[in-house]
Amino acid sequence: MPLPSLPAAILSHMIAINNVPPPPLRSLPKLKMSKYIDYGQLNALCHMRGLQSSQSSYSILSAHNMFIKQYPKIFLKKKTRLPKLFKQEEKREPTEGTEELQPQQPDDSHNIAIHVKKARGGPTLYEPKNFEEKLVEFLDILKKLPIYRTLREHRTVWKMLKTIPDLTSQLTDEHLKTLSRSVISETWVKGSTVVGNDGFYIILKGSARPQTKSYKDLIDENESTSSFIPQSFQGFVSNEGFKNILAEMHTPSCDPMLRQWSTFGTLEVTAQTESDTTEYSVITEEDCEILKIPAKDYVRLKSENIKLENKEKMKLIHKCPYYEEWPTLSICELVALIKWKKFPPGHVIVESGKIISFVAYINSGYCNIYRNIVGLMKLQPKKVKKNQKLVCMGKLNEKESFGEISVLLQVPFTCTIVTGKEVEMAIIEDKDLFVT
């Protein structure tokens, strides 16, 4: 029976395939030996006696336990390398007759800037800046608007202002640092009238003559002279340079002229009356560079500090247990009367039997509460002696108050309060309470 065409084609194809030789054998890829397996230990575990034999269940169990114990040993542990310890070389003490070697200066033979400085008679790059160079740098910084100054330049201005006694004696370091970020320099030609009732002025270059003989302080109204010698500037001038500066400057008692580093003006905003304008005015005797601290900046700084301080006082009173439900308006009235006060550790705030003179709110630290306790001490079978002793009854911690009843009702304290460590309190004196 003849086959159909399709099966005949498949059969002929299969016969043709059988006559084709098989493809050549390919080698299997080699297995990489792991660095972290001990193959000798693994081979010993695989041929351990007792695992494959079935003589008794006890021998199989003991072989199994041995296998589990030895199994972790086939894994090699990584060796931890500790950092190398360097031996510190001992300093050699110079022997007598030999000088200690000084550190070598960098080679400046190819630095053209150093040769130019030497040719003009100036100091080299490695020498510290003298007073004149610092003053020139200070003036260049003040010529910039405060918004364009870098952090380093703001720090330089602050450091220079810290060396002026008329500022440091009446302003705190934080206030001076804040004001240094807004100071500017003004240039005045010879014969100009500088009115100083809108700020505090420091003459950096040149001289001026005051229209009156006495001047007010920055803040208070006490009279004080305007010219002075800044003793702090001795730190960054050489002895010869400082002697020359002293020779040029005059003391205020001998010469009323305002020279370099002299001051005039005020930081208090005053009404611009004709008398005040004359009192704070100077006339320049030559071209001058004058540093100005605006009075408006100081007033704004004071108002911001007062707001922050009042906010802190209000927060303190609100956290005290007896004032949590008080309305804000009532606490604001107390805030206006509060003063900050610090007490050293071991200080007796009030003794038992006495009326305290203020109401206190503890901001930091704590106070111990003591009470006089009278006890009986047995001396002999029929004799007893009274013994009085202060016993600690408790503590007054942060955000707690005391003294309200004693001040308002004029009732003596029944205990003694002593500070345990340095304590900062917000206090309201009794005279302020009774006045209001």
Could you tell me the CATH number of the domain that includes residue 159? 2.60.120.10
| Sequence-ordered alpha helix ranges (H) in 230-294 | 239-248, 274-279
Does residue 308 fall inside a structural domain? no
Tokens of 435: 């006045």
pLDDT at 114: 65
Residue 225 has pLDDT above 60, yes or no: no
Between residues 160 and 117, the one the model is more confident about? 160
Does residue 412 fall inside a structural domain? yes
- In this prediction, residues 194-203 reach a mean pLDDT of 88
Pair 278, 329 in one domain: no
pLDDT digits (tens, 9 = 90+) for 18-50: 666 666 666 666 777 777 788 888 888 877 777
Terminal-to-terminal C-alpha distance of the chain? 134
pLDDT at 341: 92
Q: Which residues, 6 or more positions from 275, have their beta carbon under 8 angstroms from its beta carbon? A: none
pLDDT at 224: 38
Residue 423 has pLDDT above 90, yes or no: yes
Q: What percent of the chain has pLDDT over 90?
A: 23
Tokens of 268: 């208090």
Does residue 55 fall inside a structural domain? yes
- In this prediction, residues 302-311 reach a mean pLDDT of 90
The last residue of a domain, from among 267, 300, 333: 300
Tokens of 383: 């004799």
Parent domain of 205: 128-212+256-300
pLDDT at 96: 56
Residue 377 has pLDDT above 90, yes or no: no
Tokens of 325: 């439900």
Pair 200, 270 in one domain: yes
Residue 263 has pLDDT above 70, yes or no: yes
Tokens of 279: 């009192």
pLDDT digits (tens, 9 = 90+) for 80-111: 777 766 666 565 665 555 554 555 555 666 66
Pair 144, 198 in one domain: yes
Does residue 223 fall inside a structural domain? no
Between residues 103 and 234, the one the model is more confident about? 103
Pair 288, 192 in one domain: yes
- Region of poorest pLDDT, from 28-42, 68-82, 211-225, 378-392: 211-225
Pair 292, 330 in one domain: no
Pair 377, 344 in one domain: yes
pLDDT at 28: 65
- Is there a contact between 272 and 197 (Cβ–Cβ < 8 Å)? yes
The last residue of a domain, from among 57, 75, 93: 75
- In this prediction, residues 166-193 reach a mean pLDDT of 89
Residue 126 has pLDDT above 80, yes or no: no
The last residue of a domain, from among 243, 272, 300: 300
What mean pLDDT, rounded, does the chain reach?
Answer: 77
Does residue 235 fall inside a structural domain? no
- Is there a contact between 313 and 213 (Cβ–Cβ < 8 Å)? no
- Region of poorest pLDDT, from 87-101, 286-300, 393-407: 87-101
In single-letter form, the type of residue at position 208 comes to A
pLDDT at 77: 77
pLDDT at 231: 35
In single-letter form, the type of residue at position 262 comes to S
Tokens of 102: 């000084």
Pair 187, 135 in one domain: yes
The dihedral of CA 198, 199, 204, 206: what is its sign? positive
Pair 428, 337 in one domain: yes
Q: How far apart are CA 29 and CA 72, in angstroms?
A: 28
How many Å separate Cα 174 from the centre of its chain?
12
- Quote the Cα angle for 147-149-154, to 5°: 110
Tokens of 317: 């009173």
State whether residue 289 is helix, strand or coil. strand
Pair 261, 336 in one domain: no
- Is there a contact between 298 and 267 (Cβ–Cβ < 8 Å)? yes
Place 228 in a pLDDT band, splitting at 50, 70 and 90: very low
Q: How far apart are CA 351 and CA 418, in angstroms?
A: 9
Pair 146, 280 in one domain: yes
Does residue 230 fall inside a structural domain? no
Place 58 in a pLDDT band, splitting at 50, 70 and 90: low
Residue reference for tokens 């003298």: 130
The count of structural domains within the chain is 3
Between residues 78 and 229, the one the model is more confident about? 78
Q: Is 215 exposed, middle or buried (0-12, 13-18, 19+ CB in 10 A)?
A: buried
Pair 354, 274 in one domain: no
- Number of Cβ within 10 Å of residue 235's Cβ equals 9
Pair 157, 287 in one domain: yes
pLDDT at 41: 81
Q: How far apart are CA 171 and CA 217, in angstroms?
A: 11
The string of DSSP letters for 101-155 reads: PPPPPP--TT-HHHHHHHHTT---TTSPP-HHHHHHHHHHHHHS-GGG--HHHHH
The dihedral over CA atoms of 51, 57, 58, 60, expressed in degrees to the nearest 10, equals: 10
